[in-house]
Amino acid sequence: MNDIAKMGALAPEAAAHPDNDLSAFWMPFTANRQFKSQPRLLARAEGMYYYTPEGRPILDGTAGLWCVNAGHCRKPIVDAIAQAAATLDFAPAFQMGHPAAFELSSRLVALAGKPFSQVFYTNSGSEAVDSALKMALGYHRARGEGQRTRFIGRERGYHGVGFGGMSVGGIGGNRKAFSGALLPSVDHLPHTHDLAHNAFTRGQPQWGAHLADELERLITLHDASTIAAVIVEPVAGSTGVLVPPAGYLEKLREITSRHGILLIFDEVITAFGRIGKPFGFQQLGVVPDLFTVAKGINSATVPMGAVFAREGIYEAFMNAPQNAIEFFHGYTYSAHPLACASALAALDVYEAEGLLERAGELAGYWENALHSLRGEPNVIDIRNIGLMGAVELAPRAGAPGARAFEAHVKAFFEEDLMIRFTGDIIAMSPPLIVQKTQIDQMIERLARVLRRLD
Ligand SMILES: Cc1ncc(COP(=O)(O)O)c(C=O)c1O
């Protein structure tokens, strides 16, 4: 019997296929050899739980990858996808349309509220980011400012893996193998993570708003007339839940507006209820010009992303001649019928169950639970906002990242808990349906893991 068959992951007839072992799948963002020596397989999911092939329930502390906001395999969403697949399997979005795409767009802009008026669909967060960057370039060009081609990102920002997102992103490891091929005109703000000032802050730190002033320095260096957009995650997720200092985003907004630079928020993680309101910008009180979403848009059931544009951006493109394509950009699967159906159903579930506000209601409980880990071995910082949280561990001498990686593996095998790690930071972001008792379980299990780590 081969590896997967032994683990009972697949139906017997599939597992019996001689080629069906672990070798052919080149896994993304994974230590492939380590994984294949110690596989962590998920065979099904329901509500707050994954189940391994042997049927072991794994409490999902991460909503998959920050994305299964409505909880797993929710019936209304599953049914909507099945019905869409049987009714309209595919419809081109180039020069054609289907009703669900328009209905979804109207509902989404209503959820975002003024000044947002347009939604452009993609299949992922990475594509949403690259689309937003192209939209920014096209917008300036349409208004006669085609020299604005520079982007400003931020250190420790994650904006996906397209060449645009990678270039504005600020994670060295994601860039270095491709560094000769990144976008040429990009600069970066400093990140806002500072343990000396902000360790164990609950919610937004009071220290750090001045870091936004660095934008003025970059504007002096490059000249505002060359800068198309500044892009940041309102809360940096992938590099370990870096919560924006109070006043920081406000400053970015003020400076960008003053210089005619677009402000893009990458809300791939923060949108759809993660930090308390439907969108992160609503919770944080700073309105960008464009923002990107994906993940929670349909509780991650079908690949989908989108860019929201405020009034005035779409209109700038509409100066093109009648019958001319105004924006030369799009994907075969933009507004795919299954994705639209799943998003409409997810919005129904979110609304019926109040899930887009639930992170706000649970934030205090989550914060207290998470901060109860202060004092556990090697914990050097804890931070939180909405239903996002991170526990930063001291790195092991000579082996950065090893301690949190081990925590992830131990949590899975020994505590039936799914957590994420990035460097030596453990990150958690449970589905928005999480119960307080399940938050307690997550924290108890994580505490036991921390006590067992060297
Ligand atoms: C802020 C942010 N932007 C972009 C992305 C990329 O999204 P995707 O993996 O769907 O391409 C992610 C993924 O985690 C993200 O967190």
CATH of the domain at 409: 3.90.1150.10
Model pLDDT for residues 363-415, shown as the tens digit of each residue: 999 999 999 999 999 999 999 999 999 999 999 999 999 999 999 999 999 99
Confidence of residue 9 (pLDDT cuts 50, 70, 90): very low
Distances (CA, A) of 42 to 109, 178, 293: 35, 32, 26
Answer yes or no: do 419 and 304 share one domain.
Answer: no
CB 168 within 8 A of CB 133: yes
Distance in Å, CA 452 to ligand 1 centroid: 32
Domain boundary among 331, 353, 375: 353
Region 281-306 average pLDDT: 98
29 domain-assigned: no
The β-bridge partners of 57 are: 51
CB 408 within 8 A of CB 420: yes
Residue nearest ligand 1's atom 8 by CA: 125
Domain boundary among 353, 372, 405: 353
Instruction: Give the other-Cβ count within 10 Å of 363's Cβ.
Output: 21
CA neighbours within 13 Å on the CB side: how many for 207? Answer: 9
* Residue-level pLDDT at 12: 43
384 domain-assigned: yes
Distance in Å, CA 340 to ligand 1 centroid: 19
* Residue-level pLDDT at 19: 64
* Residue-level pLDDT at 18: 60
pLDDT at 10 over 50: no
Burial 168-193 (b: 16+ CB within 10 A, else e): bbbbeebeeeeeeeebeebbbbebbb
1 domain-assigned: no
Answer yes or no: do 306 and 336 share one domain.
Answer: yes
Answer yes or no: do 368 and 264 share one domain.
Answer: no
Distance CA 219, CA 336 (A): 40
Distance in Å, CA 283 to ligand 1 centroid: 20
Provide residues with CB under 6 Å of ligand 1: 124-126, 129, 158-160, 233, 237-238, 266, 268-269, 294
Answer yes or no: do 284 and 333 share one domain.
Answer: yes
Give me the count of residues in the chain: 454
Answer yes or no: do 427 and 390 share one domain.
Answer: yes
Model pLDDT for residues 87-120, shown as the tens digit of each residue: 999 999 999 999 999 999 999 999 999 999 999 9
Distance CA 340, CA 351 (A): 16
Q: Shortest CA distance to 193 belongs to which of 177, 163, 171, 225?
A: 171
Answer yes or no: do 216 and 153 share one domain.
Answer: yes
Confidence of residue 13 (pLDDT cuts 50, 70, 90): very low
Confidence of residue 17 (pLDDT cuts 50, 70, 90): low
Answer yes or no: do 182 and 160 share one domain.
Answer: yes
pLDDT at 346 over 60: yes
Distance in Å, CA 347 to ligand 1 centroid: 20
Answer yes or no: do 296 and 429 share one domain.
Answer: no
pLDDT at 6 over 90: no
Query: Which DSSP category does 260 fall into?
Result: T
Ligand 1 atom, smallest distance to 157 CA: 1
Region 9-13 average pLDDT: 45
Residue among 158, 297, 388 whose CB has most ligand 1 atoms within 8 A, to mutate: 158
Region 428-454 average pLDDT: 98
* Residue-level pLDDT at 21: 84
pLDDT at 5 over 50: no
pLDDT at 427 over 70: yes
Answer yes or no: do 436 and 292 share one domain.
Answer: no
Model pLDDT for residues 329-339, shown as the tens digit of each residue: 999 999 999 99
98 domain-assigned: yes
Answer yes or no: do 204 and 338 share one domain.
Answer: yes
67 domain-assigned: no
Distances (CA, A) of 307 to 105, 116, 159, 342: 11, 10, 13, 17
21 domain-assigned: no
Residue nearest ligand 1's atom 7 by CA: 125
Model pLDDT for residues 115-159, shown as the tens digit of each residue: 999 999 999 999 999 999 999 999 999 999 999 999 999 999 999
Confidence of residue 20 (pLDDT cuts 50, 70, 90): low
Distance in Å, CA 126 to ligand 1 centroid: 6
Distance in Å, CA 436 to ligand 1 centroid: 28
Distance CA 273, CA 70 (A): 10
Distance in Å, CA 377 to ligand 1 centroid: 31
Ligand 1 atom, smallest distance to 305 CA: 10
> Domain count of the chain?
2
Contacts of 183 (CB under 8 A, 6+ apart): 151, 163, 164, 167, 168
Distance CA 138, CA 193 (A): 33
CA dihedral 105, 350, 442, 446 (to 10 degrees): 10
The most distant pair of C-alpha atoms in the chain lies apart, rounded to whole Å, by 67
Range of the domain at 391: 40-61+355-452
Answer yes or no: do 290 and 373 share one domain.
Answer: no
* Residue-level pLDDT at 111: 98
Residue nearest ligand 1's atom 1 by CA: 268
Query: pTM value?
Result: 0.96
345 domain-assigned: yes
* Residue-level pLDDT at 2: 46
Domain boundary among 338, 353, 368: 353
Distance in Å, CA 79 to ligand 1 centroid: 26
pLDDT at 194 over 70: yes
Answer yes or no: do 360 and 349 share one domain.
Answer: no
Q: Is the dihedral of CA 141, 304, 243, 359 positive or negative?
A: positive
CATH of the domain at 166: 3.40.640.10
Residue nearest ligand 1's atom 3 by CA: 159
